[in-house]
Amino acid sequence: YFTTDVTVPYRIQNFLDIVVKFVKMAVNRAYVIDDSGSVYCWGSNPNGQCSPNFGVNQLYPLKLNYGDLTSSVKVVDVSSLE
């Protein structure tokens, strides 16, 4: 991961084997939906938007878990209230 600004396109290592279908950029975090409907999130995490570690920023894409719904739900869009 970069510790300075990146000024050229860069393929995120976590997505080398994943087909990205949708990207949503919020003010302080990013979301990706892959071709299976799984959602990944990274960025600011003050209220657990990206991981259960409230207040700890998510520095790399983390696949979100929906408990019992994870295998039966195909997400097609995301929204973020900033």
CA 67/CA 6 separation, integer angstroms: 35
**Amino acid 59: pLDDT:** 85
Instruction: Give me the sheet containing 29-34, strands edge to edge.
Output: 20-25, 29-34, 39-43, 58-63
Percent of the chain with pLDDT over 90: 12
**Amino acid 40: pLDDT:** 92
Q: Read off the pLDDT of residues 8-26 as tens digits, 9 standing for 90 and up.
A: 877 788 888 889 999 998 8
